[in-house]
Homo-oligomer: A and B are copies of this chain.
């Protein structure tokens, strides 16, 4: 961690208010300012930090969405310019008349990358449109990809980023309690650790706290190292700024040469099955309109 490429990353675990776009913009910019004051060069906010999550229907979701050149991204760019810290935040994104559950990476010069949630969970299918790609972008912090919440349940998400060279995965999330949680790491933390370890990437997962229309969120934000172990967190179930010093670029050589664990170099792609064969019993997608 003495490398010139090491930096401090922060998860700003906040409690956005559904529909209060103006208030959430103030809340998140204040949190970024606080994290930057604590030394962070890159600040991760939760999923749907601009407008909330538990929408009643598509119309309400649409009414709360804003485009990438709208006020929340402008505010994040302004606070980035003011503090020097980059911002990765979940945004309820309006795009071509549709709403995406997106994550945006914003530097002082503007939007560096945008990711639209691929795996929509449960009733999210009713209020968001899904994305269809996992982009990786070159930054001063290393090659960065983003996933959002439920994406972490699908190992293909982080693998898709790692295969494109990602060093660091940012994961804005709105983690909810697991109905069968045992003592020990939350299921969300466990999936995050497995994703980091099996891809040798750093993961900074920022979840939210509070309760929205009956849905409780658990906090539990973590920064996980490329060996899968927790560097910072899990954060308690209250608003919090979690910081960790990480070195995605400086660790490249060590990761490449690690004899113990070679999650990309030891893959054997010709043995893998990626689609259910016609003879397998398929699990149908959940149709929330029939639940």
A residues neighboring B (CB under 8 Å): 118-122, 130-134, 150, 153-156, 159-161, 163-165, 179-182, 184-185, 187, 190-191, 193-195, 197-198, 200, 227-230, 252, 255-256, 259-277, 279-286, 288, 291
Contacts and interface: CB of A to CB of B under 8 A. Distances in A.
Contact of A259 (B155, B265, B286): B286
Describe A's contact surface by its main secondary structure.
loop
B259 A182 contact: no
A120 B275 CA distance: 24
A134 B164 contact: no
Given A156-B267, A184-B184, A262-B285, 17 more contacts: A118-B271, A119-B266, A120-B266, A132-B270, A134-B272, A154-B198, A154-B266, A159-B273, A165-B276, A185-B190, A190-B190, A194-B194, A255-B283, A256-B283, A264-B282, A266-B285, A274-B274
Given A264-B276, A283-B262, A190 B194 contact: yes
B153 A155 contact: no
Given A184-B185, A268-B130, A286 B274 contact: no
